[in-house]
Amino acid sequence: MIPKTFKEVIDLGDGRTISLETGKLAKQAHGSVVVQMGDAMLLCTVVSNYNKSTADFFPLTVDYREKFAAAGRYPGGFFKREARPSDGEVLVMRIVDRVLRPLFPSDYRYETQVMIQLMSHDEEVMPDALAGLAASAAIQLSDIPFETAISEARVGRINGEFVINPSRSQLAESDIDMIIGASADSVMMVEGEMKEISEEEMADAIKFAHEAIKGQIEAQNRLADAFGRKETRTYAVAESDEDLYAKVRETAYQKIYDIAKGAHSKHERSDAFSAVKDEVLAMFSEEELEEKKDLIKTYFNKVEKEAVRELTLAEGLRLDGRKTDEIRPIWCEIDYLPSVHGSSIFTRGETQALATVTLGTSREANMIDMPTHQGEETFYLHYNFPPFSTGEAYPIRGTSRREIGHGNLAQRALKGMIPEDCPYTVRVVSEVLESNGSSSMATVCAGTMAMMDAGIQLKKPVSGIAMGLISDGDRYAVLSDILGDEDHLGDMDFKVTGTADGITACQMDIKVKGLAYEILVKALKQARAGRLHILDKLTETIAEPKANVKAHAPKMEKVEIPGEFIGAVIGPGGKVIQEMQKETGTTIVIEEVEEMGVIEILGVNQEMIDEVKKRIKAITFKPEVGKVYRVKVVKMLDFGAVVEYAEAKGNEVLLHVSELAWERTENVSDVVNMGDEFEVKYLGIDPKTRKPKVSRKAILEKPEGYAPRPPRERDNNRDGGRRDNRGRDDRSRGNRDRNDRNDRN
């Protein structure tokens, strides 16, 4: 018997709905829900252990997977089984995690797993926009402590009108693609890309999405009430000791404040703070430390945060001595690496990124093969963050989620500035060599300069800046170009990228509740001022893209041919194209697009590229009737000469002896010889021979008094045959007469 189910429906106001259902699937999970929009269905479960973890942090795992069966497809690869998550799945995990994590109690240390699975796919629904809604709804149905319900929604803008959760086809027409995460009263996360919009337009898009999110939260609450809310579980809360906190604060606060005000470098400041911490620990006996050491460290960190924040709010000063809107010193360099196709160094304070550019054909495009999306990227960016960039040593276990997320942000910032007619596949790699504050924004700046150095004709240069916000409710300070320490001490950190004309991408995590939109817009405008300052530094280093790619970089040219010639260019078993590549040292890629063959020719030597183009032209050469062409004699025959078109080497045609001249020609060599060059007229296909016909005499002036030779008379008796009175050959009748005579004899 099917168990009783509970369902709530969210009306999006344009005929589309989202439903939340529970009670049927995964009932042993602590909370489970099925979210459906169209034919897209997500199953989300949440489980949290009852035994406390030994970790000194909250061990939360958010996992998002798209099942290939959901789209009626097989996984790629040998084993035909879903394996490690794709970059696209990792990005969804990150946008959900960033909203959920701050809403669990700060002292909750129980391993928790939120698992979201796409079970059914709809081409008109992008499931990543439903993942946050599913996660929150599942938690609301559980007994896990959680501050408040949240949801996430995508917002687009098509023809000036905002749209919630647009389809992928609609998104192609949109100038905004943002996912917003929020509770009923506060926006908590923003991530997306835009086509050079203003700060006010961005704030309006966030407001629009927030209103839709409020309706989704109401539906979650109705579902939880109908299902029956569970009593929130009790757990071992962290101990507190107000007297201990007061003792730590009395000893450490002013010392930390003075160090913070001293404008030290990152490592000097860290060493000084550590010395104060050691001094605090030294106040306690071994017995007290054995019992209270972790709590003492927790209180020290709390005091450190209070002191640093107060310095900024009270005096407008920051850890490195800057004012709130001041940008750290910047230096840049291009063409640093001699062998790559383009390179640059961007250094801002203690953050440094080295970017490289590699140019290739469409064969090097990044293939995307997800159940919900298949395609390819001809521009992509990879971001690497090695341990030495922060002066640390720890195991390297593949590409981290953070590296995937930061690389994706930089890619979204830059991709809109790649010209549509760029013939190359472009790969940018950012190597973070130093880090103390927003290496992702350093990547955007370095990537811009490296592509300009490589000769990619960017529409406009792009810069990026990381911003912070500190607020105590009454006072607030917006910080430009934040340090790593300011990142986790503040109430909001946001990264904004753009050109001189508008925003191209953003990523925000907002911790302060009920942030006023006026403060948000002010922060975005301060970010614009900082972004333009950084942009000036970039354009001082390289004002515009180099006119050409480097001498050692591959040149790319595209040739279009009629689709009927694709096979001829490739040749049997690929023989023709392989020979061209081998003899010219080029890379040739052919793709059929709308009954045309699009050929990419990639090579360092321009002469060899031109040679390939000549050969392709020869293969695909198709003369026009009535047009005159220059030819060269390549073979002499008794009945004519074989000539080769000058503009299509290897393309040969027979020039019959009767078409050499107006006068009767007994010997071909009387008129032309091997190697002679002259012009002929193309007459089309000869109806008798069904072969191409050309004529030399057709473009010569007819001799005065010329009279065409009369047609040769047919000798009807040369083979002993006769024709009857209807003109039919009567040879068979003569044979029958002879046979009759022989029989009589």
Cα separation, 617 vs 447, whole angstroms:
38
Taking the C-alpha atoms of residue 197 and residue 203, their distance in angstroms, rounded to an integer, is: 10
Report the alpha-carbon distance of residue 287 to residue 187 in Å, rounded: 46
- Show Cβ contacts of residue 431 under 8 Å, excluding neighbours closer than 6 positions: 353, 354, 355, 356, 384, 386
CB–CB of 675/632 below 8 Å?
yes
At position 687, the amino acid (one-letter code) is P
Phi, psi angles (nearest 5°) of residue 318? -125, 175
| Region label for 666, one of left (φ > 0), alpha (ψ between -120 and 50) or beta (otherwise) | alpha
Torsion of Cα atoms, 384 then 385 then 391 then 394, to 10°: -100
Nearest Cα neighbor of 63 from 100, 110, 37 is 100
Give the annotated binding-site residues: 487, 493
Distance separating alpha carbons of residues 167 and 180, to the nearest angstrom = 16
Find where tokens 């309006």 sit: 204
**Within 10 Å of residue 41's Cβ, how many Cβ atoms?**
22
Q: How far apart are CA 346 and CA 430, in angstroms?
A: 10
CA nearest neighbour of 223 among 136, 309, 154, 299: 136
The per-residue b/e assignment along 402-430, b for 16 or more CB within 10 angstroms, e otherwise, is: ebbbbbbbbbbbbbbbbeeebbbbbbbbb
d(Cα 556, Cα 658) in Å, to the nearest integer? Answer: 46
Distances 543 to 168, 346, 460 between C-alpha atoms, Å: 36, 15, 10
Beta strands across the sheet bearing 555-562: 555-562, 596-603, 587-593
CA-nearest of 680, 613, 684 to 642 is 680
Listed in sequence order, the DSSP H helices in 262-392 are: 266-281, 286-315
List of E strands, 349-394? 351-360, 366-370, 373-377, 379-384
DSSP string, 603-624: ES-HHHHHHHHHHHHHHT--PP
Alpha-carbon distance 309 to 290, whole Å?
31
Tell me which residue has tokens 């958010």.
62
Task: Evaluate whether 414 touches 452 at the Cβ level (below 8 Å).
Answer: no
Residue 527 main-chain phi, psi, to 5 deg: -65, -40
CA–CA gap between residue 487 and residue 269 (Å, rounded): 16
SS3 label, residue 502: strand
- How long, in residues, is the chain? 745
CA distances from 544 to 152, 347, 449 (A): 39, 20, 9
Residues 6+ apart with CB under 8 A from 414: 379, 381, 428, 444, 447, 448, 451, 462, 497, 504
Place of tokens 């000194």: 56
Pairing of strands 463-471, 492-499: antiparallel
Annotated binding site for Mg(2+): 487, 493
Q: What is the DSSP string of 20-38?
A: EEESSS-TTSSEEEEEEET
